[in-house]
Each structure stands twice: as structure tokens, then as C-alpha cells.
Amino acid sequence: MQILESGEVHDVIVIGSGASGGMAAYNLTQKGVKVLMLDAGGKFERTKFWTHAVPFEADERLRHGEKPPPFFLDKTEQPYLTPEGKPFNLMRVWGIGGKTNVWGRVSLRMSDLDFGAAERDGWGIPWPIRYADIAPYYDKVEQFIGVCGGDDNSDVLPGSKYYMPVPPPRCGEVFIRKSAESLGIPVVPIRRANITRPHRGFPACHYCGNCGAGCDTASCFNSADHLIPFALETGNLEIRSRAVVARILTDDRGRASGVQYFDRDSGAERQVRGRVIVLGASAMDSTRILLNSKSDIFPNGIGNGSDQIGRNFTEQQMVHVRGYLPQLFGSGYQNSDGIGGGHYYIPRFNHRSKQDYLRGFGIQMWNTGSGTTGERVAHDVPGFGADLKAAVKERYPALLSLHPFGEILPRPENRITVDDSRTDRYGVPLMKVSVSFGDNETKMRRHMYDTAEEILEKAGAEVVPFDRDACDDPGSAIHEHSTCRMGVDPKQSALNAFNRMHEVENLFVVDGSAFTNASEKNPTLTILALSWRASDYIAEEMRTGNI
Amino acid sequence: MDRREALKRVGTLALVPVLGAFHPLVPVPQDGGAWRPLVLDASEAALTADLAELIIPETDTPGAKKANVHQYIDWKLSEDTRARQDKFRSGLEAFAGLDRSEQIALLKNGGAFFDELKSLTIEGYYRSKVGMIEELGFEGRTFVTVFDGCTHDEHLNWTPSDSKG
């Protein structure tokens, strides 16, 4: 059944409004291109965020029937399948701004260690770009969104001239830094998209530390505040909310001709037509859409003649080690909110010596310092009664917390597929996610644990016992990648160096699925840079009539 | 102005940045007089309050009872499955009719009910105004124009060789 809304052909249809879709729409509309944006949710009202609700206030509100903004998609509304024994923790935000409403804000530049990883160790395929290709876009993104950081610059973490100041470290971070450095592990100021000075009309960060609830002053980058309103101002952006995209439509020449979506409220099917389609629905949903976009020309999903789409899933494995530092026992409450996460970062260092595994890990340190509540500490103290209460008070300011993030190697069997026998409420096949970690990950994880433990012990901390085999379920880092990867060889990749499909010249995929490998770094800064770069290319190709 | 409206207004007030000002606190009912349990019956609620007070007792600061932890536990159970509710209630039964020292002895034996009770109690206590503010002196999640970070010479001048590590 063809349900065409009208004969109108939109210049560009952008699917998704987060870091990737938001940036593409912003950049294209600034250049005068008319954009129709489809987003699966609506706008989250910033004035209604629970940014400053302390736990007992939040509990009171909940007990009176109020609810915080429903950022995360209910898994029962849009289920996904996993094989027995292979859990996957998929976190999705359907709504304007997507996950940038609540993201971790860590903004690390990838380096040629990352872009050249496959050449270096022979695993996987090479990126079609190098640091020099993306560096000008990192510069632009950092100036645009506002990132705080230090003046460090290394082979792992290239520096920038455009950082705002990072606030000073908490007490515990001072100890972590000195301990790590005494072990020969460099520690640098974190790079985070909190604006520590007023920027583009937004007030500076006020150091409440609760970034994860959404920032009610928009003092850290959120596509919904920092990109979409400016795209709307041009008059070139139309947003269609609560439009759940199912498929990219194909014409008889194998070009993308439009998009099929379902109205999230009525369930009605709709179709829109476009000259160029930009997919930025986040790695998992973009992949689901591509695999469901089957036609005579593309029986395995649009642009998937290579059978690479859905395969090679990558991300980071995450572990956590914490301890209590006697030097800080009984030191009383210290405001540790700051910019939410750690004020320092431990960049990858493992490549400076020989390892029995490939790739690397970096270490973050959120939660170090006095917590918001004493719950975590109380769970770590055995027993009950006055002794428990006294121990919690003593240890409350003394928590050191380390969180190594390690790269997962791309492997073809770690993949997303769609299951034609199981469909969602719109009758569209569900996605199936099959991911497990391998030997390389196990070996790296050992090193991750050993390093975190060594840093805490060297500082003199009492390390809380941990299970060396434990690892957060796949998906927990919320950094999904590579299921529609860029590459030089169309047989081994889906996208070219400008996020354009090898097999479909007017279809671009600009989210994390485009990454050739994950690296150990948080991806949003790179997604923004790649999307800006790809949309520059699209605008130029449209201007010159190539598409 | 009803309670929900009051909470909304507090939310609005909290948007005004004031250097050093603490966020306005929402009053939590302390008397328990008007409180009606959602899951537990009256004697179970009273027993829960007694046991929670054994987990976090009153010392120089208030304990679980004054923080209304039993109300928190009842509310959390009401949001959970019937199975968890039933498990908690049957766990309570073993403590009914025991005196304080017998209850303490039973708690010391540990086990699944102890873990559940302790978990709910520390959650309820350390999330409460009493636990956060009176006990631990929390002053955060507010608006400050400058974040000081560590200002202690003994930390800033520390070197790892000084430590036992």
C-alpha cells in the first residue's frame, strides 16, 4: 500500500535529532538547504527537568504521582531480541535531542592511534580517514558546543586550542592523580562539554553535578538546545515528531526515494519523499531501519550488498573498581558535584609497552568524593547498628572510584539482524542483537582491573573486593558502533569517507554506526565532527548538482 | 496551595542562582500521624520501623525511625512485585513478638531477609532529609559560581611514598 502524503520532494530528510541528526540538520539549514526532520519522540521540556531535585525531594515528588521526563524508551514499547545467554543492555532515547539530553558529556578527540588501529595491529579494516581529515571539524565542534579541557596533547589524545577551563579536582582525584603518575601512568584534565563560561547565550555551568538528569540551564551540549533551535531559526527546518521510521524507500534505479514511518500515537503509516536521506537514528535503530529496507534491488537491506550492515558491532567494555582512602576518613562533607563526572581522565597508556592483547583502555573516575547520598558507602560496610552508621559517616568523603573503558574488537559474528517472524506494534520486524566478548576482551579486562587496583592501592586506599570476571553487560557503555561502517573497500564496508553509502549515492549514515572501530573513547565529539563533515559534503554535492 | 503545587513552586525557585544559597528543602512529614501504609498492615509497619531503627539507630543524630524509613520501605514495596512484598512480609514474621535483644540476635544471623531489610533501610535513611542533611551534612546539587575542589594543603602536598601503599 502506498500512502504518499503529497507529491512534495524534500531536499533532505534527516532521521533522528541527536548528536548526528541534529548536527546534520543544523549545518544543512545554515547553508540554505530545506530539511525535513523525522524524530521518534517529542520535545522534553527543559524547565521540567529534575536537575536540582535532591533524592528526598525526588522521592516526595514520585510519592505524589509526579514523574521525571521519560527520557529512556520503554523496552516493552519497542522490544529487541537477544539470544539465550547473551544479554544486551540497549538504552534508547526517542525524542528531540536523543541521548544528548542525558549523555555523559565526555568529549575526547580520537587520534591516529584510533584511525590507524587496523594498520597497526592487523585486526579489522582501516578507516578511510585520518586525524588530519577530522581535526578541523573537532576544532569547529569544540568552539561551537563548548568543551572544557586542559592544555595536554599526546599521541593518544590530541590537544585543542579551544577549551574552556576545567574546575579543580576533588580531594580523592588529587590522590588518584599522584598515585597514577607515580606508577608512570599520565593523568590529564577531563574534556567535557560543560561550558564553564557563558557561551552562545547559554549560562556557565553552575556545578550542581547532576548532568545525568538533564541540564535545566543547558550549560552542557544538548542537541535539543544547542542545535535544533538554531536550525529552526533559519526557517529551513520542519520537524515531524513522534514519527517512528521503519524503512528507507528505494526507487527502481536503487536510489533512496523516501522514508516510510509510523505515527507513534495513531499507528498510521506515512511516507515522505526526499532527494537525499540522512540517517542519524543512533547506531542500533539506524541499522534496524537499513536491514528492514528490503527491495528487489536490495534483498538484504538497502546498501547491504556487502553483507556488512549489522555486523562488526563494537563498543567498550566497562568495569568498576572502588576503594576508601583512610587519609580522607572523617574529613566531613566535601562538595564533590563539580561538572558531574571526573575532573581528571587517564588516557590510554598500554601501547607504550607490549601487551598480550590488542587495542587499549582509558580510565574515568566519576563518583570519586562525597556522594550525593551515603547509600553506596553503606552497602560497602558490613553489619548494622551504630557501628555501621559511624563507619558510613567516616567513609562518606573517602570514596575513590575508577571506571576503565576498553575497546571491543570488531568481529563479524557480533551483529544485529532483523527477525521477520517477530514484529513490533507497527508490523515491522524487530531487531535481534547478538553480542559477546572474546579472548582479547578477557585479557584486556585483566589489565583494566589490575591497573585500577594498583592505582587505588598505591594511593593507600582500602580496595572494595571485586569479581575479576565481572563486566557490565554488552551495551552498557551506550556507545554502539560499526554496524554500518566506513571503509575504503565497498566489499568490506557500507559507507565511504563522507558517510555516503557505497551502494546508494543519496543515502548517508552519520551516527555511531559509521565508526570503523570503537576506540576506547567516548564517541559523541567524533559523531558531531563526522556529521558536520558529511553534511558539508552533502551541501556541496547538492550545490554542484551531483545529487 | 496544595502540596503538589508547592513542590512545583520549589522547583521553579531552585532555578534562581544564588551564590552559596542552599536549595529550598521540601518538608517531609515527620509525625507519621496521617500516614497510611500501602502494603504493610499497622503492626507490620511498626515492626519494620523497629527493625530499621536497629539497622540505623538514633545516636547523636536521628535514626531510621525519625527519618520515617518504614514509610519509605512501604512505598518502595508498593512499587514492586507482589512476590517481593510477600517475601518481605513473611521475613518480618520471624521477628514478631521478639524482644529487642532477640531481634538483634536474629539480625546477626544474616540471610536474605536481613540483606533486603538493610538494603531498603540504608536506601531510605541516606536518601532522607535526616540522612542526607543532618547525618552527612550534604550541601550539594545547588548553584555555585565557582567550584573550589580540593583546597587542603595536606592533600595537595601528599606524595605516594608517604603512604603505606
pLDDT digits (tens, 9 = 90+) for A207-259: 999 999 999 999 999 999 999 999 999 999 999 999 999 999 999 999 999 99
Is residue B3 predicted with pLDDT exceeding 70? no
Q: Among A60, A65, A208, whose Cβ lies nearest the Cβ of B28?
A: A60
φ/ψ (deg, to 5) at A259: -135, 135
- Return the residue in B51, B108, B126, B129 with the most chain A beta carbons within 10 A, the one to mutate for interface testing: B126
Q: How far is CA B36 from the centre of its chain?
A: 19
Rounded alpha-carbon distances, angstroms, from residue A351 to A184, A189, A348, A471, A526? 13, 20, 7, 22, 22
Q: What local confidence, expressed as pLDDT, does residue A7 receive?
A: 78
C-alpha A412/C-alpha A167 separation (Å) is 42
| Cα Dmax for chain B | 60
User: For residues A500 and A534, is the Cβ–Cβ distance under 8 A?
Assistant: yes
Average pLDDT of span A76-94: 97
Q: Among A65, A175, A335, whose Cβ lies nearest the Cβ of B139?
A: A335
Q: What is the pLDDT of residues A160-201, one digit of tens each?
A: 999 999 999 999 999 999 999 999 999 999 999 999 999 999
Which residues of chain A are within 8 Å of residue B80 when distances are taken between CB atoms? none
B123/A169 Cβ within 8 A? no
B155/A171 Cβ within 8 A? yes
A343/B149 Cβ within 8 A? yes
Q: What is the pLDDT of residues A517-547, one digit of tens each?
A: 999 999 999 999 999 999 999 999 999 999 8
B158/A175 Cβ within 8 A? yes
Q: Considering chain A, what percentage of its residues have pLDDT values greater than 90?
A: 99
Average pLDDT of span A405-412: 98
φ/ψ (deg, to 5) at A238: -115, 130
B160/A182 Cβ within 8 A? yes
Count of other CB atoms within 10 angstroms of residue B155: 20
Q: What is the pLDDT of residues B134-154, one digit of tens each?
A: 999 999 999 999 999 999 999
Is residue B24 predicted with pLDDT exceeding 80? no
C-alpha A210/C-alpha A341 separation (Å) is 9
Is residue B9 predicted with pLDDT exceeding 70? no
Q: What local confidence, expressed as pLDDT, does residue A6 receive?
A: 63
Q: What local confidence, expressed as pLDDT, does residue B161 receive?
A: 78
Q: Among A385, A396, A459, whose Cβ lies nearest the Cβ of B163?
A: A459
Which helix (DSSP H) or strand (DSSP E) does residue A403 occupy? strand A399-407
Count of other CB atoms within 10 angstroms of residue A48: 15
Which residues of chain B are within 8 Å of residue A330 when distances are taken between CB atoms? none
Q: Among B135, B145, B152, whose Cβ lies nearest the Cβ of A171?
A: B152
Mean pLDDT of chain B: 85
Count of other CB atoms within 10 angstroms of residue B19: 10
C-alpha B121/C-alpha B125 separation (Å) is 6
Nearest to B106 by CA among B50, B33, B63, B66: B50
Q: Which three cell numbers stand for residue A537?
A: 559534503
Which residues of chain B are within 8 Å of residue A329 when distances are taken between CB atoms? none
Q: What is the pLDDT of residues B31-73, one digit of tens each?
A: 545 899 999 999 999 999 999 999 999 999 999 999 999 999 9
Is residue B26 predicted with pLDDT exceeding 70? no
C-alpha A480/C-alpha A522 separation (Å) is 10
Mean pLDDT of chain A: 97
A393/B119 Cβ within 8 A? no
Query: What pLDDT band is residue A345 in, cutting at 50, 70 and 90?
Result: very high
Closest residue of chain A to B18, computed from CA coordinates? A206
Q: What local confidence, expressed as pLDDT, does residue A250 receive?
A: 97
- Return the residue in A207, A365, A370, A456 with the most chain B beta carbons within 10 A, the one to mutate for interface testing: A207
Q: Which three cell numbers stand for residue B17?
A: 542562582
The alpha carbon of residue B165 is apart from the nearest alpha carbon of chain A, in Å, by 4
Q: How far is CA A258 from the centre of its chain?
A: 27
C-alpha A497/C-alpha A518 separation (Å) is 16
Q: What local confidence, expressed as pLDDT, does residue A3 receive?
A: 58
- Return the residue in A48, A50, A56 with the most chain B beta carbons within 10 A, the one to mutate for interface testing: A56
A392/B140 Cβ within 8 A? no
Q: Which three cell numbers stand for residue B67?
A: 527519618
Q: What local confidence, expressed as pLDDT, does residue B5 receive?
A: 45
Q: What local confidence, expressed as pLDDT, does residue B19 receive?
A: 35
A59/B160 Cβ within 8 A? no
Q: Which three cell numbers stand for residue A486?
A: 566506513
Nearest to A412 by CA among A386, A382, A438: A438
A444: burial class by Cβ within 10 Å (0-12, 13-18, 19+)?
buried
Query: What pLDDT band is residue A4 in, cutting at 50, 70 and 90?
Result: low
User: For residues A279 and A507, is the Cβ–Cβ distance under 8 A?
Assistant: yes
* Per-residue DSSP letter, A337: -
Alpha helices in A485-547 (DSSP H): 524-543
Find cell 575497546 and name the residue.
A407
Q: Considering chain A, what percentage of its residues have pLDDT values greater than 70?
A: 99
At how many degrees (to 10) do helices A55-63 and B3-13 cross?
A: 150
Find cell 549489522 and name the residue.
A310
Q: What local confidence, expressed as pLDDT, does residue A5 receive?
A: 59
User: For residues A259 and A38, is the Cβ–Cβ distance under 8 A?
Assistant: yes
Average pLDDT of span B156-164: 78
Q: What local confidence, expressed as pLDDT, does residue A387 receive?
A: 98
- Return the residue in A344, A379, A389, A393 with the most chain B beta carbons within 10 A, the one to mutate for interface testing: A389
C-alpha A245/C-alpha A259 separation (Å) is 7
Average pLDDT of span B79-100: 97
Average pLDDT of span A473-500: 98
Is residue B20 predicted with pLDDT exceeding 90? no
Q: What is the pLDDT of residues A43-57, one digit of tens each?
A: 999 999 999 999 999
What does pTM read for this prediction? 0.94
C-alpha A326/C-alpha A330 separation (Å) is 9
Query: What pLDDT band is residue B13 in, cutting at 50, 70 and 90?
Result: very low
Q: What local confidence, expressed as pLDDT, does residue B33 receive?
A: 56
Assign residue B111 a region: left if phi > 0, alpha if psi is -120 to 50, beta otherwise? left
Nearest to A174 by CA among A327, A373, A337: A327
At how many degrees (to 10) do helices B42-55 and B112-127 cross?
A: 80
Q: What amino acid occupies position A179?
A: S
State the pairing for strand pair A321-324/A269-279.
unpaired
